[in-house]
Structure 1
Amino acid sequence: MVKAVIFDMDGTLIDTEKYYRIFWPMALKQFGYEMTDEQALSMRSLGQPYAPQHLKDM
């Protein structure tokens, strides 16, 4: 039986910013796009409803 669940959304337990900087550019490169560190960090805290439009706007 599960007694507790820890859910980390904002980097409290894991420093997620470094992963945004690494993996967003890697993912976009697969589709022929380049992404700067600044652009990758701009994806922080964007939920699924907002991320696709943000990418299109870039």
Structure 2
Amino acid sequence: WANAAVADGHLTVTFGYAIGRLDEREYRKAAELEVVRLARFLGLGENCWDASI
């Protein structure tokens, strides 16, 4: 799951895992792309976010 919040134009996304954090490169790239898409959807810049993937 993921929790997302915007404060002062900055998106913060915290990922949670039922069985522990995944360490696969492809998963990390896909999750990061989804965060970028969410930032765009919210009208934020591509570099206005951070995530605990």
Shared fold per TM-score greater than 0.5: no
Larger Rg: 1
TM range, normalised to the smaller chain?
0.3 to 0.5
Higher relative contact order (CA 8 A, sep 6+): 2
